[in-house]
Structure 1
Amino acid sequence: MCKQSGTPLQDDLFLEETPTSSVTEKVAKPGPAVELKGSVFTLPVLRLKRSDLGAIEEALSERISQSKKFFENAPVVLDLEHLETPAEVLDFAALCSLLRTLQLVPVGVRQGSAEQQLAAVEAGLAVLRGGSVQETVAAESKDKKTGEVVKQVVVPSKALVIDQPVRSGQQIYAQGGDLIVLAPVNAGAEVIADGNIHIYAPLRGRALAGVLGDASARIIVQSMEAELVSIAGHYQIFEERLPDELFGKSAQVYLQEMALTLVPLR
């Protein structure tokens, strides 16, 4: 007769006794919930000259009507450096409300006084420390020993060279120097440089030179078919086809008396 081990529950039922394992299973720890990384974004800058909300709305409405698609839900930075009354503390809550009704998204301020920056923070805006004008001209200082004037020349960084096509959605940034592109910049792509931009191929996307404020920067293109060009924050959007004298032609873009100028290369 075969004996069954276990604890009887009923005549025909037994509860098997299973020994408890002493091995503890290791549970994999989840990865971090977030990661903080640096990146570069091109943001439109709204250079405020007056605090009159009515005047701001009128000027912006006219500008936005020319390029509705570009400005729709666009993040903007408020530049306070050029206000007619530099010490005036703006009503940032009212200003932000106005901008949102125009489908703009205010994200921060730059420049301005400590009081202005504090008021901006209280309205939920960030204070951006970067984006200032980069001095590229020669500076002068006196040598302590001889008293003679010594010229300190800023030497630009080595140019960044790209020899592959820049695809839609890609962004290339040449920090501290020029950008040279030897392949097409496709529609929806963006090339950015602190210095000049040279494109020895068609430009069908966006090109932004002198992004830190270098007004002497230039964009030189073998075949101009751009969506947008910008020099030191002065930009032009091309929602329609470029004029025949520029479309598909070699061209350069530069600032002349702080106005954006596009001319074919001869």
Structure 2
Amino acid sequence: MAAPSASPAHDYEPAGELKIGQVGIANLRVRTLDVARLASEMADRVKRAPKLFARAAVIVDFGGLAATPDAATARALLDGLREAGVLPVALAYGSSDNEKLATELGLPLLAKFRAQYESAGGAPVAAPAPAPAPAPRDAAEPAPARTEAKAPPKAVAAGQPGLIQATPVRSGQQVYADNRDLTVLTTVGAGAEVIADGSVHIYGTLRGRALAGAQGNEKARIFCRAFHAELVAIAGNYKVLEDIPKELHGKAVQVWLEKEELKIAALD
């Protein structure tokens, strides 16, 4: 009698590889529930900096309001944001009413990721990322919300060496220095992103995006040798190239935060 044939080996290789890590995404903290005004403000941002904001993923954060809006109003806002040129993809974590609203809208709830942009007036702003972040990796197109009662920023560990990036950061790549400074010895290309919980030092040309103080450290700074940045931000306060005086383009500059206002000046 012939021996039974061996069972075929099962292929456990997944069809898709799922990874959880650093996500560049904007957080729109709604401070005044005026759908038309919010959509108009967003359309203006997209018009001024289309490479950064056009079709950018956005978390909508209703945590700054006294009450969670009803589903009809929330849908009108989502439609207005889409018409303005961005893509609302989730609601930010909040109250139980907010969770019910997300279910009704068919959207997920997400924590406030570190993202890139604005600090006031219902604008998307940089926010702390609760998940651990990976080393340099390719990242999708972006790009951030200061809460009313934010947790104290995570201090950069004393004596911890900064992260040194010796090769160019190319378009679509992201480098993140977790709880330390970041030093880039070469260039940051257009469409690339460098982020640090401490300060960012760039010894070449900055053409992409640089974000310092990503966990809320308002004393962090950005230094670069040749400034052509798409965007710079410190602790969620940002400026895009269109907002920066032309006489600073191509110069060696430093960027710092003073009374919640982003300052940029040429280095002597």
- The 8 Å contact of residues 187 and 205 in structure 2, kept in 1 or not, is answered as yes
1:125 to 101, 107, 131: 107
One-letter code aligned to 2:28: L
Aligned residue in 2 for 1:167 = 170
One-letter code aligned to 2:152: E
Structure 1 counterpart SS, 2:187: coil
- The 8 Å contact of residues 157 and 180 in structure 2, kept in 1 or not, is answered as no
Map 1:66-215 → 2, pairs under 5 A: 66-83=48-65, 86-90=66-70, 91-131=73-113, 132=128, 133=150, 135-136=152-153, 155=157, 158-215=161-218
Alpha-carbon distance in structure 2 between the residues aligned to 1:130 and 1:45: 7
Query: Is the aligned partner of 1:33 residue 2:15?
Result: yes
Compare the two structures and name the one with the higher helix fraction: 2
Structure 2 counterpart SS, 1:177: coil
Aligned residue in 2 for 1:252 = 254
1:232 deviates by 2.0
Q: Assess, with a 3 A threshold, how the Cα gap between structure 1 residues 67 and 225 changes in structure 2: closer, same or farther.
A: closer
Unaligned runs of 5+ in 1: 1-19, 138-152
1:22 deviates by 8.3
Structure 2 counterpart SS, 1:118: helix
Alpha-carbon distance in structure 2 between the residues aligned to 1:88 and 1:39: 29
Q: Identity of paired residues, percent?
A: 38
One-letter code aligned to 1:261: K
Aligned residue in 2 for 1:220 = 223
- The 8 Å contact of residues 89 and 115 in structure 1, kept in 2 or not, is answered as no
RMSD: 2.8
One-letter code aligned to 2:196: A
- The 8 Å contact of residues 183 and 200 in structure 1, kept in 2 or not, is answered as yes
1:75 deviates by 0.4
Q: Assess, with a 3 A threshold, how the Cα gap between structure 1 residues 180 and 258 changes in structure 2: closer, same or farther.
A: same
- The 8 Å contact of residues 226 and 251 in structure 2, kept in 1 or not, is answered as yes
Structure 2 counterpart SS, 1:107: strand
Compare the two structures and name the one with the higher strand fraction: 1
Alpha-carbon distance in structure 2 between the residues aligned to 1:171 and 1:134: 25
Q: Assess, with a 3 A threshold, how the Cα gap between structure 1 residues 210 and 109 changes in structure 2: closer, same or farther.
A: farther
- Name the stretch that deviates more: 156-165 or 93-102: 156-165
Q: Assess, with a 3 A threshold, how the Cα gap between structure 1 residues 25 and 111 changes in structure 2: closer, same or farther.
A: closer
Aligned residue in 1 for 2:265 = 263
Give the TM-score normalised by the residue count of structure 2. 0.74
Q: Assess, with a 3 A threshold, how the Cα gap between structure 1 residues 127 and 216 changes in structure 2: closer, same or farther.
A: farther
Alpha-carbon distance in structure 1 between the residues aligned to 2:202 and 2:156: 24
Aligned residue in 2 for 1:59 = 41
Alpha-carbon distance in structure 2 between the residues aligned to 1:68 and 1:103: 9
Alpha-carbon distance in structure 2 between the residues aligned to 1:261 and 1:88: 35
- Larger relative contact order (C-alpha < 8 A, sep ≥ 6)? 2
- The 8 Å contact of residues 189 and 206 in structure 1, kept in 2 or not, is answered as yes
Aligned residue in 1 for 2:122 = none
One-letter code aligned to 1:52: D
Unaligned runs of 5+ in 2: 114-127, 129-149
Q: Assess, with a 3 A threshold, how the Cα gap between structure 1 residues 158 and 259 changes in structure 2: closer, same or farther.
A: same
Alpha-carbon distance in structure 1 between the residues aligned to 2:174 and 2:42: 27
Cα deviation 1:141-172 (Å, max 9, x = unaligned): xxxxxxxxxxxx87355421111221222110
Structure 1 counterpart SS, 2:264: strand
Alpha-carbon distance in structure 1 between the residues aligned to 2:186 and 2:51: 27
One-letter code aligned to 1:200: Y
One-letter code aligned to 1:38: I
